[in-house]
Amino acid sequence: MGALCCAGEACCSCLCGCCMRCCSTSHKQHMRLGYLVIMILAAFFGMIFLYFGDEMMTPWTKFGFADCSGTDKSICLGVQTIYRESFTLVLFYIIMLGLSIPGGRMSAIINQGCWLMKGLIITVLFIITFFIDNAFFDIYREISRYVSVAFLVMQIIVIIDFAYTWNETWLENYENSSESGYWSFCLFFFSGLMWIVALTTIVLSYYWFTTDSGCELNIFLISLTLALGIIFTGLSLTGMVEHGSLLTSSAVNLYCVYLCLIGMASSSSSCNSWNDKASTAITIVLGLFAALIMLLYVTFRKREAKDEQAPIRGVAEAVLAEEDDGNEAAPYKEEDDNESPSKMVFFHLLMILTSIYFAMLLTNWGAAHTGGASYDHNEGSMWVNFSALWFTVLLYIWSLLAPKICSGRDFS
């Protein structure tokens, strides 16, 4: 084990050193990226298990995997495998969290290296989960439904913070760069592009989800999504708000339209034309892409203190409290071992939530009951997505109006 750890650390250190010089990134960012790669691979294999788990895993049932015979076979080897994979990652990140709590050089070495050993641990844990009864994973599925809401709330906060950061960065480039015309073009071009994509998706949603009879609810929900986007975008461009911008509003609106699309696609209504295997795959990929944007932002985000900022930025700082203090690219120093272990503890907590959420994403919030071609559609998943949409709108509007309503409060 020690040799594996040292070999993995030496290889990763060499690669990270090249990346640090080329991309001005830090050891901590590369470490987070390593854990992110684990999640991406897990999501990839999760989709394989969803569609082909029954055929792939059948030869292995002779080794005594629990309840993988008879009527339970398709469940155990298809959808249930996703829960086993998710639970494996939860156990892995709990172990990493426990090793991070003491702090010091040993914790830093384990977190930043030993990748071969980590891969071996994940593989062993995954194999062990197949000897756990399916009834346990039925309970795990129910718990995951509620825990995943916390991840969804965190994702909303981070997405809005990302939209503000994007606008602030480009606006600073516009104000301070000699190529202000270029940055002005970028601001308006990408704002317009996101609105074009959003409006196109809205129009297609009317076609995909309202053509059958009795689809009045779908028409109302799609129209409401469009109206809310127009309202908060218009509000952000008025003199009433201090931190409003077209780029930020366009990004938030696009995320809201995405939630509307996913919500409609999750419905079991006859109005939903997204009920085949290909449509299910598109829905899952879109959800994974949104989660990936959040995790990439958390991985490479550099905190920058500002005298004036939108209120949501303060909320994001609290949520992402483990972020570095702007000295990201600094090389590793011995005294870094004495930093607060809460930084890595928070990151591993985030990865635990992500591990739970990706199981809900692949199974339509636990609605899947059969392996194979697709997951089940249900109204519960639809309302989860629309609740997230409305929470996003309320949170963004609050971030626009709070400085006016609470004028005596410092949001910096």
- C-alpha span between 82 and 363 (Å, rounded): 8
**Domain boundary assignment for the chain:** 26-324+338-405
For CA atoms 242, 243, 245, 249, the dihedral sign is negative
Provide the pLDDT for residue 31. 85
Is 111 in contact with 100 (CB distance < 8 Å)?
A: yes
H or E element at residue 136: helix 134-176
Report which of 412, 307, 290 is spatially closest to residue 358, judged by C-alpha positions. 290
pLDDT the model gives residue 241: 83
Q: How is 227-238 classified by DSSP, letter by letter?
A: HHHHHHHHHHTS
Dihedral (CA of 86, 90, 91, 93) sign: positive
Distances in whole angstroms, Cα of residue 124 to Cα of each of 89, 131, 142: 11, 12, 25
* 338: DSSP letter: G
Which spans in 24-129 are helix H?
27-57, 73-74, 80-100, 104-112, 115-129
Q: Report d(CA 122, CA 115) in Å as an integer.
A: 11
How far does CA 211 lie from the centroid of its chain?
32
Question: How many C-beta atoms lie closer than 10 Å to residue 387's C-beta?
Answer: 14
Opening angle at CA 167, ends 165 and 173, nearest 5: 105
pTM for the whole thing?
Answer: 0.84
pLDDT score of 334: 45
Would you state the pLDDT for residue 11?
52
Q: Measure Cα distances from 96 to 9, 11, 36, 118, 403 in Å.
A: 16, 20, 14, 9, 40
* Two tokens, residue 6: 């040292």
Q: Which two tokens stand for residue 263?
A: 């919500």
Q: CA neighbours within 13 Å on the CB side: how many for 376?
A: 13
Distance CA 411, CA 195 (A): 29
One pLDDT digit (tens) per residue for the chain, 412 residues? 455 455 555 555 554 554 444 445 566 778 889 999 999 999 999 988 888 877 777 776 666 665 565 545 656 677 888 999 999 999 999 999 998 888 777 887 888 878 999 999 999 999 999 888 888 998 999 999 999 999 999 999 999 999 999 999 999 998 887 788 899 999 999 999 999 999 999 999 999 999 888 899 999 999 999 999 999 999 999 878 877 899 999 999 999 999 999 999 988 888 888 877 777 888 889 999 999 998 888 888 765 555 455 555 555 555 565 554 444 444 444 444 444 556 778 889 999 999 999 999 988 887 655 444 445 677 888 999 999 999 999 999 998 988 777 766 655 5
**Contact criterion met (CB below 8 Å) for 221 and 386:** yes
The CA–CA distances, whole Å, from 134 to 57, 153, 242, 370, 398 equal: 15, 29, 54, 13, 44
> Among 28, 9, 4, 14, which residue's Cα sits nearest to residue 109?
9
Amino acid at residue number 171:
L
